[in-house]
Amino acid sequence: MNFDLTATIVFVALFVFVTWVGFVAARWRKADLDQLHEWGLGGRRFGTIVTWFLLGGDLYTAYTFIAVPALVFGVGAMGFFAVPYTIMIYPILFLVFPRLWVIARREGHVTAADYIRFRFNSRLLALAVAMTGLVATMPYIALQLVGMEVVIGALGFDTQGFAGHIPLIIAFIILAAFTYTSGLRAPALIAVVKDMLIFVTIFAAIVIIPAKLGGYGAIFDAVPQAKLTLTPPTGDSLGNFSAYVTLALGSALALFLYPHSMTGILSASSGRVIRRNAAALSAYSFILGLIALLGYMAIAAGVDKNPLHAAGFERYGANFAVPALFLDMFPSWFVGVAFAAVAIGALVPAAIMSIACANLFTRNLYKEYWRPHCSDAEEARVAKIVSLVVKVGAVVFILAIPTSYAIQLQLLGGIWIIQLLPPILLGLFTRGFNAHALLLGWAAGTAVGTYMAASRGFVSSIYPFEVLGLTVPGYAALYSVIVNLLVAVALSPVLDRLWPQAEPLDRAPIRR
């Protein structure tokens, strides 16, 4: 990989600009950032437009921009499961989360674990929710570095060894500084810049690249037939069909349970803003479909056959497909713009994730177990410090652990986070669950999901479930949460008699 000076200058200039935006955000809608809800939730004052950019920047990360087309490039049509998955999440957002927002605003909740503590009056269940969120999010933060590392390497920098990680370390020092100073306001403003760069990059790509490759017909003709369709079912297996469906459904059920997704939702100014975004955010699903097509374009362009990219593919595998495609198809200055979009796309979700982890630790561990009477200022100060520790931990994580292991841990993150579905989502609509039964269901689902991933050597999230002689390959997260739900439903009436839970703190009717 040759060093590209022009692309690097454009990349650095845009990075410096968003750094300035991050620090300026501290004075945007100025408030007392020594209050946790102001620092960690933006004062719950983000309207429809800001929330649209914030949630878009939060959910569609740098790793998504790199990994989705990489999956299409590597395995073909299976990679398009991300499109129906992102379509299904918005009805869930519309129906469920305005109700959660109302309760959180009324009671001053900052995290999902706050709500669980209030709703079920169970410290252990709230602790399980908080710890699951923290553990599932840490590798997710680290994986944002993967996307950034790929584009830095594509610019011509050597990213191997400690010296090669210096650009990443500098980027996360900058991220830590403006997050500490500005809180959630920083990624909210930077998300606007990030999305504008992404839109420009994608729309240029879908027009210019096909024109250079002879049109979309020529692109699809160049893709091997096996990568254009899913493997059909056989007599004893549903093949890729069941894997595709369960990946889409399981991912949709899990996404808004992540702490960073919850933080973006709770920062909205009203439930009406959330409903509007449930409709408007579907535009991102269209964008994601276009991003996925870059994988087919990379196949048609033969980027993996270009000797100039051999080192990149050897180092990053299929994740290098999109950077290689842009290097081949665009002038250096536009490559700098596109790569900056990816890097900034890593900063926004990483900032929100670190803030979400800080909120969880401060509210549900520090305040709940160590300093129950701490002041608001102390609470905010601890959260700011923890947000720094989380970022340092993410950098150490990616430096010390091979990328392949980080990806495998992120796989576990999806399996673990979906176990919060019964208490958070279903608990909003029924009071029939026993807190102890939910805790046992969470433990059972977590154990089963971890076993399924382990049985696959932590290299795949698809588990070959067998029933009546038929193999049904499916997303382990979905299978495990079904076990979780069955345990919770079966044990709730039994434990209501044998082990009654504490009287719920939430006795008021839930209104929208």
Q: Are 256 and 92 in contact (CB under 8 A)?
A: yes
Q: How far apart are CA 429 and CA 251, in angstroms?
A: 21
Q: 5-23+46-233+244-403: which CATH topology?
A: Sodium/glucose cotransporter (1.20.1730)
pLDDT value at residue 181: 85
pLDDT value at residue 285: 85
Q: How far apart are CA 190 and CA 25, in angstroms?
A: 9
CA 279 to the chain's CA centroid: 20
pLDDT value at residue 488: 94
The burial of 385, by beta-carbon neighbours within 10 Å (0-12 exposed, 13-18 middle, 19 or more buried), is given as middle
pLDDT value at residue 504: 62
pLDDT value at residue 459: 80
- pLDDT < 70 stretches in the chain: 1, 161-164, 401-409, 500-512
**Alpha helix locations (H) across 42-122?**
48-59, 62-75, 82-107, 112-120
E-state strands within 217-333: none
pLDDT value at residue 411: 74
CA distances from 221 to 213, 214, 225, 322, 433 (A): 11, 11, 8, 19, 54
CA 259 to the chain's CA centroid: 9
* pTM for this model (two decimals): 0.89
pLDDT value at residue 163: 66
Q: How far apart are CA 340 and CA 441, in angstroms?
A: 43
Amino acid at 450: T
327-352 per-position pLDDT tens digit: 999 999 999 999 999 888 888 888 89
Q: How far apart are CA 417 and CA 353, in angstroms?
A: 14
pLDDT value at residue 512: 43
- What tokens appear for 130 in the block? 């908080």
The phi, psi pair for 470, rounded to 5°, reads -105, 125
Q: Are 187 and 57 in contact (CB under 8 A)?
A: yes
pLDDT value at residue 57: 81
- What tokens appear for 39 in the block? 């620092």
Q: Residue 511 region, left (φ>0) first, then alpha (ψ -120 to 50), else beta?
A: beta
